[in-house]
Amino acid sequence: MNPLATKTVEQSIRDTEEPDHQLKKSLGPLDLTVFGVGVIIGTGIFVLTGKAAGVQAGPAVAFSFIFAAIACGLAALCYAEFASTVPVAGSAYTFSYASLGEIFAWIIGWDLILELALGASTVAVGWSTYFADVMKSAGITIPKSLYGENHNLVAAAIVLLLTAVICLGIKVSSQINLVVVTIKVAIVLLVIIAGAFYIKTANWSPFIPPSGSKAAGGASLTPSLLQDMGFSPGAFGITGIFTAAALVFFAFIGFDIVATAAEETRNPQRDLPIGIFGSLAICTTLYVAVSLVITGMVKYTEIKINAPLAEAFRSVGKPGIATIISIGALAGLTTVMMILMLGQSRVFFAMSRDRLLPSVFSKVSLRFGTPYRTSIVTGVVVAVIAALVPLGELAELVNIGTLFAFVVVAIGVVLLRRSRPELPRAFRCPAVPFVPILSVLASFYLMLNLPALTWERFVIWMAIGLVIYVFYGARKSRLATAAETGYNTAEYGGEAAEIAGRQSRSGATPAG
């Protein structure tokens, strides 16, 4: 089988109509937008802002968020075109299959499995800590033995509970997500409005601290690959704004998960771009507002890096707001965790339906219209990782995995425009190939801002994936076994149809 053979958009859409693999279409533009907000806003809005302001940009961190949003918007334009053109579960995996070929689809699918499962596990561990803090504020002490490292039963319990919710149907998940996101956004707005009364404009002066200015204490930054290569972007000044943008960019990660729900959307061509851009615009507005409140309440040199918002309110004699912030963080992490697992189960489902992974997992519940087998497997694996595996620096693999997906999708947009210019595109990325090229460059620059060790671990994970592809996926996929199974190769790219026909004429049996 030619690993560069592509799967056409038409066949991808036809696969969604198979009775055993048909997901229930229940989502509208509001559902998708709330999904995006739910997965983007986590603890980053409460913590990352202070770190970027106190160490790298000062009050100008507001500009950093805007520049990061623009960089994220470049990737969002590419995702919106693909998601409206190929409205099939799997997100970047499905897009890569249509534009780059099977081996690239496998690589990005394997990457997304790492990104989403590890991301959900990391969030679950953070959730257990916030849960214990909130319970302590309510006078209930959770024994450390229930949420300590290597035995985090609280994290495992919340993962399994959310797994049950996901199995009950996409609409149930959407409704619960709407309630929790409403609470989360309400708390963020409360923080912004309450904090606005304690802003001192003198704290914003200078708005762009000159290069070499004194930084806030308590920060520890791991050297990036870029710094290891001898490039050391400066802190503060104009360069500090862009250095901080590289850091706060990771607070936007998650909008791409909206695309994994394409197959469960009633009108994906119209609604997916709305969900992607709507959630990005809402989160950008909230991030900029929070950054202005933090730096207005407390001088950037005095910001407490680990808990900037909570400490800012304690400094003005409002410790009760700090408890509300913890509740907001808990709500934020709950939706992030649920949507990451939902996205993971849909990528797993799409790969299983294409038989790059065992097809037994692609069964859909007739009652709930969900891929319950992939959802259960995802939940159990995430629960085990959260409960038993010390994550630590592994969490940064989530960031590099996401950025790698951004690069692949941007390249795919250009290639599919050239190979299938006649395809109807409900949303068209403007200025192709200029915008996708900018997206690739921006994403790759941000990847260089991650530690060298993260790169090494990512390469190892990809190598493991390629071995599995060679010995399983390449032999068992629908493309590879098309002649044997009677799969509709006429709807595939020329390479697949030619190979299947050659196998049929010679009487050869496909590998595997």
- HSE-CB at 7 with a 13 A cutoff on CA atoms is 32
pLDDT confidence of residue 317: 84
Per-residue pLDDT at 392: 65
| Residues 251/10, Cβ–Cβ less than 8 Å | no
Asked if residue 494 has pLDDT above 80, the reply is no
Res 501: pLDDT:
44
For CA atoms 257, 261, 262, 267, give the dihedral sign. negative
Highest mean pLDDT among 222-236, 274-288, 471-485, 495-509: 274-288
Domain of residue 100: give its range.
9-480
Predicted confidence (pLDDT) per residue in 204-227, tens digit: 999 999 988 888 876 666 677 877
Q: Identify residue 509 by its one-letter amino acid code.
A: T
Per residue in 84-101, pLDDT (tens digit) is 888 888 888 988 998 999
Residue 154 maps to a domain: yes
Q: Which residue has the higher pLDDT, 85 or 250?
A: 85
Q: Which of 33, 14, 16 is nearest to 25 (CA)?
A: 16
340 and 123 in contact (C-beta within 8 Å)? yes
- The pLDDT-based confidence of 490 (bands split at 50, 70, 90) is very low
Residue 488, in any domain of the structure = no
Q: Chain-wide mean pLDDT for the chain?
A: 85
Decide if 25 contacts 326 (C-beta within 8 A). Answer: no
**Does the pLDDT value for residue 358 go beyond 90?**
yes
Could you give the CA distance from residue 501 to residue 498 in angstroms, rounded to a whole number? Answer: 5
- The sign of the torsion formed by the CA atoms of 46, 49, 52, 54 equals negative
Which stretch of DSSP H or E encloses residue 15? helix 9-15
Supply 283's token pair: 């989160």
Q: How many domains does the chain fold into?
A: 1
Under DSSP, the state recorded for 17 is: T
* Beta-sheet pairing, 147-148 with 151-152: antiparallel
Say what the pLDDT of residue 309 is.
79
SS3 content of the chain, % helix, strand, coil (to 5): 70, 0, 25
> Residue 503: which pLDDT band, with cuts at 50, 70 and 90?
very low
Higher pLDDT, 397 or 121: 121
Question: Is the predicted pLDDT of residue 506 greater than 50, yes or no?
Answer: no
CA distances from 18 to 13, 272, 362 (A): 10, 22, 11
Determine, yes or no, domain membership for 510: no
Is 392 inside a domain boundary?
A: yes
Instruction: Output the pTM of the full model.
Output: 0.84
CATH code assigned at 53: 1.20.1740.10
